């Protein structure tokens, strides 16, 4: 199969390359919002009202009300004291990290999203469970007063959801900030798609912050920081916030108008997941988080097998080009029952021959 397929159109349910159409089971538009016609209609309204971009700063003497409206809504949705939007999930993470940098001992979990890195050496590939078991001792032995712990809410590559009960085992004699990247959960997981913020219980004296992209589940090109009002007020003074581009207001307008669309898309995604799983004759071939649309398999030959049947799934080397591929099937809300029937039948045929 070709290593790279080129296309002139954004794939969501199907991909067309060199005149050939493939069923597409990859990407991160979990709710299909990148191609949701109702959301696109609201976006057109937003573009008429706010234009294609806001090239000013959130610190200017002219303030667009849409930012406060969106941030108040997001805070209420997630249960956070406050919410702060910015142009991307990556910039949201960097705003947090660069503001806190130099004031604490940073402790990174395995495969933490690059948005939270200070430098490349912050990244490492390892066992999340082993890392958690070592944390209390690492925190206890740290000579710095303030501890910052950084990790993801889940592993979207191996389809593993993390449990955060271990936070209760951390020492309580030091101020601890927990920063979680929820980019692959927000919009899809949690109550009403609100992600992980309200699910994480932090010990007394600790502070929780969640950083996330709104682009994956929600289809909105923006980043989001959730946390305490006092902390986010400090981030508003950061040059990364003032000097960085704001979220495009037309998209925030569309997001607020689409409040009834997202639950429908999540329900459709859940139905698609259940329909697909119900048809698998060997479900142990795939590993997934319950009610989450990513299915990991160690059987890398599944990718070329499905490619020959005009189906494209996710398979790429990680963490380096020399690493073995990580192979996944990713469903979204736009897949039809016929799409899922074809996929399940092909996987069953593959499983029969291994």
Indicate whether 75 belongs to any domain.
yes
Indicate whether 138 belongs to any domain.
yes
Indicate whether 284 belongs to any domain.
no
Record the pTM.
0.95
Indicate whether 112 belongs to any domain.
yes
Indicate whether 148 belongs to any domain.
yes
Indicate whether 319 belongs to any domain.
no
Place of tokens 């142009």: 87
- Domain span including residue 179: 50-257
Within 13 Å, how many C-alpha atoms sit on residue 51's CB side? 5
Per-residue confidence band for 250, with pLDDT thresholds at 50, 70 and 90: very high
Q: Which two tokens stand for residue 75?
A: 């805070």
CA 215 to CA 225: how far, in whole Å? 14
Q: How many independent structural domains does the chain possess?
A: 1
Per-residue pLDDT tens digits for 253-285: 999 999 999 999 999 999 999 999 999 999 999
Q: Is the pLDDT of residue 319 over 80?
A: no
What mean pLDDT comes out for the span 41-52? 97
Per-residue confidence band for 2, with pLDDT thresholds at 50, 70 and 90: low
**CATH value at residue 222:** 3.40.640.10
Per-residue pLDDT tens digits for 169-218: 999 889 999 999 999 999 999 999 999 999 999 998 899 999 999 999 99
Indicate whether 330 belongs to any domain.
no
Q: Is 308 exposed, middle or buried (0-12, 13-18, 19+ CB in 10 A)?
A: exposed
Indicate whether 286 belongs to any domain.
no
What is residue 114's predicted lDDT score, i.e. its pLDDT?
Answer: 92
Positive or negative torsion for Cα 345, 346, 351, 354: positive
């Amino acid at each position: 199969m070709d290593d790279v397929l080129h296309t002139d159109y954004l794939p969501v349910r199907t991909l067309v390359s060199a005149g050939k159409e493939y069923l597409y089971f990859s990407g991160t538009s979990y709710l299909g919002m990148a191609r949701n016609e109702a959301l696109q209609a609201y976006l057109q309204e937003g573009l008429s009202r706010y234009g294609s971009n806001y090239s000013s700063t959130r610190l200017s003497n002219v303030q667009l009300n849409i930012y406060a409206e969106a941030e108040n809504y997001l805070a209420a949705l997630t249960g956070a004291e406050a919410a702060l939007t910015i142009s991307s999930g990556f910039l949201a993470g960097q705003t947090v990290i660069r503001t806190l940098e130099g004031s604490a001992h940073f402790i990174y979990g395995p495969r933490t999203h690059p948005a939270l890195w200070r430098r490349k050496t912050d990244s490492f590939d390892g066992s999340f469970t082993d890392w958690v078991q070592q944390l209390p001792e690492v925190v206890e032995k740290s000579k710095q007063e303030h501890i910052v712990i950084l990790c993801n809410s889940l592993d979207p590559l191996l389809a593993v959801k993390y449990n955060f009960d271990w936070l209760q085992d951390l020492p309580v004699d030091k101020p601890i900030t927990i920063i979680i990247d929820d980019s692959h959960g927000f919009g899809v997981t949690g109550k009403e798609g609100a992600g992980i913020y309200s699910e994480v219980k932090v010990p007394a004296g600790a502070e929780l912050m969640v950083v996330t992209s709104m682009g994956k589940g929600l289809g909105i090109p923006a980043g989001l920081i959730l946390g305490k009002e006092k902390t986010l007020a400090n981030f508003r003074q950061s040059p990364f916030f003032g000097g960085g581009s704001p979220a495009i207001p037309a998209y925030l307008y569309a997001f607020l108008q689409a409040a009834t669309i997202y639950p429908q898309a999540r329900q459709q995604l859940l139905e698609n997941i259940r329909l697909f799983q119900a048809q698998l004759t060997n479900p142990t071939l795939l590993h997934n988080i319950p009610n989450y649309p990513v299915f990991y398999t160690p059987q890398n030959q599944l990718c070329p097998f499905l490619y020959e049947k005009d189906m494209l799934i996710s398979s790429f080397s990680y963490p380096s080009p020399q690493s073995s591929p990580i192979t996944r099937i990713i469903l979204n809300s736009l897949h039809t029952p016929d799409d899922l029937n074809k996929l399940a039948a092909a996987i069953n045929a593959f499983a029969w021959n291994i």
